[in-house]
Amino acid sequence: MNLRQCLREPIPEIEIAAHRLSDAVSAHLRGERDLAEELFRQADDKVIWDWLDSVWGKETVHNRPRRILNDPPAIPKDQRVPPRDATDATKRLIHQRDGHYCRFCKIPVIRGKVRSLVHTEYPKAVPWGRTNATQHAAFQCMWAQYDHILPYARGGLSDLANVYLTCAACNYGRGNYLLEEFDLVHPSLHAPRQGSWAGLENFR
C-alpha cells in the first residue's frame, strides 16, 4: 500500500498567491491602498479555485475513500464528548506547534478572522459571498482549519493530540473519514513546514 501525505499535491499558483497576499498587506500597511487592492485581486486566481474544487468536491478522483475493516462508526450527537471545536487556548498551542502551514499539504494558511478583516477593508478585491464560487480563491484555499485526525463524529477529542492545523482542501476533502480510508500518513509522522509565513496576522 502506498501512503500519501495529502489528498492532492498543491499547485505553484497557491504559493504565488500567498506572496501576492503578503505584498498586498505590506502595501496596505504603507498606506498604498490602490496597490494593495490590485494585489488582492491578482491573488483571486481561478486556477486555484479549480484545484480546490477538485479536492473538496463530492468524491472526486482525489478524495474517494476506500472501505476498511473494523472502522469506528459515527457516534450519536448526544453521546459525543464536548467541546466540538478546539478551545482558543488549544488553537494557540496548535499554532505554536504547526505555525501557519497546513500539516498535510504544507501550503500557507490564514485564519478566518484575518480574512474577515481584509474583506471588510477591501470588499471588492476580496469577495466573500455565500457560495464557494463567489469567494476569493486564495483566501478560500488557504482558509485555516482545526482538523480532527480522528473525526469528532467518530469519537475524536478536540485536544492538541488529535487536532492539527490544515487548509480547507485537506479538511473538507477528508470530511469525517479516517486517515486510513484515504491512505494518508498521520501528520505527526512528517515535520511541520518551517518558514516566515505568519498568516497575514499583521494586517490592521
User: Has residue 59 got a pLDDT over 70?
Assistant: no
Task: Answer positive or negative: Cα dihedral of 151, 154, 158, 162.
Answer: negative
Measure the CA–CA gap between 25 and 94, rounded to whole angstroms.
24
Tell me which long-range contacts 124-127 makes (C-beta under 8 A, separation of at least 24): 124/37, 125/36, 125/37, 125/38, 125/40, 125/41, 125/44, 126/40, 126/44, 127/44
- The better pLDDT of the pair 95, 67 is held by 95
- Give the model confidence (pLDDT) of 159-189 as tens digits: 999 999 999 999 999 999 999 999 999 999 9
- Give the model confidence (pLDDT) of 101-126 as tens digits: 999 999 999 999 999 999 999 999 99
Task: Report which DSSP code applies to 182.
Answer: G
Average pLDDT, the chain: 94
SS3 200: coil
The helix (H) or strand (E) run that includes residue 156 is: none
Measure the CA–CA gap between 66 and 181, rounded to whole angstroms.
5
Q: How many residues does the chain have?
A: 204
| Residue 143: how many other CB atoms lie within 10 Å | 21
User: Has residue 61 got a pLDDT over 80?
Assistant: no
User: Has residue 69 got a pLDDT over 80?
Assistant: no
- Give the model confidence (pLDDT) of 138-159 as tens digits: 999 999 999 999 999 899 999 9
Q: What is the pTM of this model?
A: 0.92
Question: Which of 5, 2, 1 minimizes the C-alpha distance to 186?
Answer: 5
pLDDT for res 68: 72
